[in-house]
Amino acid sequence: MPVSVSKVDIWTAEISDQAGALDRILSAVANAGGNLECVIGRRNPAKPGSGHVYLTPIKGAKVQKAARDVGLSLAANISTLRVEMPNKPGQGQMPQAPADWEDLLAAIEKAHTDYRAVVESFSDAQLMENVKFFSAPKTMGDYQRIGFMWFLLSDQIHHRGQFSIYSRMADGKVPSIYGPSADEPWT
């Protein structure tokens, strides 16, 4: 199964900030057969004594009716993304940190080699196809795949530049990332 990314609607309600307020809502959804994947509750600092709950998904007519009956409604300005992928060891968790400098360099080289293989696997037509990525807060936009690859390269250049600045601020030596540096001249 490849990675699948889809938009998921969020349902929300204002609740009182007291024991049992969230239980009433969750029980109603569960008793109607709802199967929640995400629940977020938070206080409302602008309105002491109250909070908000955000739930997803609310699927099916029976579950949606129960949700409305306890004051939930479809959030007008919030959505989320569901990312689904195979459940294999190593996926969905951070990789183990390299043990030493040589392992770190090997991991970086492997990532670059793997990425290059992916790029080389695309035909010219596939490079011109659109892919989805964030274009503004809470907004997904279309980008040509080749343009998105340039964005990734530029982002990497940006972070290498940040690294050189932070390294200098910490009294470290700036490596010759894109050519000679004051600390690593090529002469």
**Does a structural domain hold residue 92?**
no
Query: Do residues 119 and 49 both lie within one domain?
Result: no
Query: Do residues 80 and 118 both lie within one domain?
Result: no
Q: What is the pLDDT of residue 90?
A: 61
Q: What is the pLDDT of residue 167?
A: 81
Query: Do residues 155 and 122 both lie within one domain?
Result: yes
Q: How far from 20 is each of 26, 31, 74, 128, CA to CA, in Å?
A: 10, 16, 22, 53
Q: What is the pLDDT of residue 133?
A: 84
Residue 34, classed as helix, strand or coil, is coil
Query: Do residues 11 and 74 both lie within one domain?
Result: yes
**Does a structural domain hold residue 183?**
no
Per DSSP, what are the bridge partners of residue 8?
Answer: 80
**Does a structural domain hold residue 179?**
no
Task: Find, among 71, 69, 68, 42, the residue nearest to 54 by Cα.
Answer: 42
Query: Do residues 8 and 69 both lie within one domain?
Result: yes
- Our CA angle for 73, 77, 80, nearest 5°, is 90
**Does a structural domain hold residue 177?**
no
Q: What is the pLDDT of residue 22?
A: 87
pLDDT along the chain (187 residues), means of 10: 77 88 90 90 85 90 94 84 72 76 87 88 91 83 90 86 81 80 83
Query: Do residues 23 and 79 both lie within one domain?
Result: yes
Split into its structural domains, the chain has a count of 2
- The structure's pTM equals 0.47
Q: What is the pLDDT of residue 91?
A: 61
**Does a structural domain hold residue 58?**
yes
Domain end marker among 33, 57, 84: 84
Evaluated on CA atoms 154, 160, 163, 168, the torsion sign reads negative
Boundaries of domain holding 64: 4-84
The residue to which tokens 């700036």 are assigned: 174
The CATH number of the domain holding residue 40 is 3.30.70.260
Cis check: omega of the bond before 57, within 30 degrees of 0:
yes
- Our CA angle for 147, 149, 152, nearest 5°, is 115
Per DSSP, what are the bridge partners of residue 79?
Answer: 9
**Does a structural domain hold residue 138?**
yes
**Does a structural domain hold residue 95?**
no
Q: What is the pLDDT of residue 89?
A: 65
